[in-house]
Structure 1
Amino acid sequence: MRTETDRTEARRPWGLAAFLLVALCAFVALGVWQVQRMHWKHALIARVEARVHAAPVAVPDDAKLTGEGARDLDYLRVGIAGTYEGRATALVRAATELGTGYWTMTPIRTAEGRQVWINRGFVPAGTTREQAAATTPAGEVEVTGLLRPTEPGGSILQSNQPGADRWYSRDVKALATVRGIGPVAPAFVDAQVEKAAAVQGLRPVPGLTQIHFPDSHLSYALTWFAMAAMSAMALIFVWRRGQWTA
């Protein structure tokens, strides 16, 4: 004969309780993961800030730029000297705080023969490649800027069209291939300061590198923890209700 305790246990919402318990554990795990991500993001921001304001160093060799530690070189402040190859200048679509226009990409050749693409800066919409190339200073140039990884393929919305000389990302290998300039470093430099002979007229505006890392992990973590708390309260409620209705 079943006792009152047996009937109470039989009426408890075991299935719903199990679901709520699993949800509670999942929400807590997601909240903890977001807290860990937040600490990682803050450490990344601190490292990048230190790189951006550090004394410039030489551009790392190609092996380092393509090796396992390449990500740690992003936004590294570098200095490079050489002569620009103005004939190879290319324009890459850009949207900046100054409006829409183009990045002026021109390769620099060092005394050792190494070629590195330089983003000399922003020029407004309507600028032609010939006009941008005409801004290239002659003679020795010294550039200080931030190292950036190549951007193969195009932007999220549009693919590069090398055949039509339309560029939506700074794909250094494709740019070099179209311009026929030979091997280049697998990265480019966003110019901050350019020391060169003065050029009259249009000048690209350097120093517009956007350094932005989304940091919403705390709000996400609070959301997950709030959902965990609601799951816990719902679990308590349905369990007690099972006792009341028994």
Structure 2
Amino acid sequence: MTEARRPWWFIGLGVLAIGLLVGLGVWQLQRLQWKTALIQRVEAGLVAPPVSAPGPDAWAQVSFDTSEYRRIEVRGRYLPADDLLVKAVTSRGSGFWVMTPFETDDGWRLFINRGFVPDDRTSVADRPRPEGEHSVTGLLRLTQPGGAFLRDNDPAANRWFSRDTVAMSQSVGLGEVAPYFVDADEQGDDLPVGGLTVVSFPNKHFGYAMTWFGLAGVFAYLLYRATIQTKRSDEV
């Protein structure tokens, strides 16, 4: 009786494994659709004219799927609060992003990533701040809470590994700020150097889907062979 039951348990587990693999393949196809739509939106936004930065009334609708990497523009003035330097690695080497508080003409505040400075050029003189009324264009980037991989932000020590606008605002007493910052466009070769944002979305979901479907096919074939052999053994 035990020998008779064993093939059915084996078949049940095999069918479950095949179903799981097929489900993973379908999930990757869904991810492929999402990623393709995201890439198309971002590529269209990168070449589109900048739009006005979302104000407080629209902050609740700002999300990765709808707003990240959109070209925006703000007009106002840089605030006298200190710049915050965030560790960065760019095409120009290791250094820091210069995050500067900014107040718009409408009275709300946000951070501007004015650009990159290398490790040996971090003095205030190396990152002069524009004075007076100023217009900034660049890419909308969502706040990056917490820190980087295995490296937490330490506001008390003024060590930053991610551009966390809420924590940065609290550290300089800025009050409420936008849940995003602006990666400023390039403004010539002077420091800080803007326009270094890398916009790249690997899209390997189709390959992953085919891998899962292929494994499902292999499991189905092995299950079929095992079932046939079991039946033959029983007949003998």
Shared fold per TM-score greater than 0.5 = yes
Superposed displacement of residue 10, structure 1: 4.0
Superposed displacement of residue 69, structure 1: 4.8
Superposed displacement of residue 160, structure 1: 1.3
Normalising to structure 1: TM-score of the pair?
0.85
CA distance in 2, matches of 1:181, 1:240: 72
Superposed displacement of residue 231, structure 1: 1.0
Residue 137 of structure 1, aligned match among 114, 130, 145: 130
- Residue aligning to 2:87: 93
Q: Is the contact made by 1:12 and 1:239 (CA closer than 8 Å) also made in structure 2?
A: no
**What amino acid is the match of 2:157?**
A
- Residue aligning to 1:174: 167
Residue 150 of structure 1, aligned match among 138, 143, 146: 143
CA distance in 2, matches of 1:18, 1:115: 60
State the Cα deviation string for residues 90-130 of structure 1 (Å, max 9, x = none): 11111111111000111222233222210011110123352
164-173 or 68-77, larger mean C-alpha shift: 68-77
**What amino acid is the match of 1:24?**
I
* Secondary structure in structure 2 of the residue aligned to 1:209: coil
Superposed displacement of residue 177, structure 1: 2.3
Superposed, which structure 2 residues align to 1:214-229 within 5 Å? 214-229=202-217
Superposed displacement of residue 233, structure 1: 0.8
Q: Is the contact made by 1:34 and 1:221 (CA closer than 8 Å) also made in structure 2?
A: yes
- Check 1:234–1:180 CA distance in 2 against 1; reply closer, same or farther (3 A cut): same
CA distance in 1, matches of 2:143, 2:185: 18
* Secondary structure in structure 2 of the residue aligned to 1:220: helix
Residue 69 of structure 2, aligned match among 75, 79, 94: 75
State the Cα deviation string for residues 179-223 of structure 1 (Å, max 9, x = none): 2333322211000145xxx9xx95111111122223221121111
* Secondary structure in structure 1 of the residue aligned to 2:74: strand
* 2:10 is equivalent to residue 16 of structure 1: yes
Which has the greater radius of gyration? Answer: 1
**What amino acid is the match of 2:116?**
F
- Residue aligning to 1:115: 109
State the Cα deviation string for residues 146-175 of structure 1 (Å, max 9, x = none): 111111222222111111111111112222
CA distance in 2, matches of 1:147, 1:88: 22
- Check 1:172–1:129 CA distance in 2 against 1; reply closer, same or farther (3 A cut): farther
- Check 1:145–1:69 CA distance in 2 against 1; reply closer, same or farther (3 A cut): closer
Identity value in percent: 43
* Secondary structure in structure 2 of the residue aligned to 1:163: helix
* Secondary structure in structure 2 of the residue aligned to 1:13: helix
- Check 1:240–1:116 CA distance in 2 against 1; reply closer, same or farther (3 A cut): same
Residue 212 of structure 1, aligned match among 194, 200, 207: 200
* Secondary structure in structure 2 of the residue aligned to 1:188: strand
CA distance in 2, matches of 1:33, 1:173: 34
- Residue aligning to 1:184: 177
CA RMSD of superposed structures (Å): 2.3
CA distance in 1, matches of 2:178, 2:23: 42
Unaligned runs of 5+ in 2: none
Unaligned runs of 5+ in 1: 1-6
CA distance in 2, matches of 1:64, 1:238: 60
CA distance in 1, matches of 2:18, 2:81: 62
**What amino acid is the match of 1:191?**
A
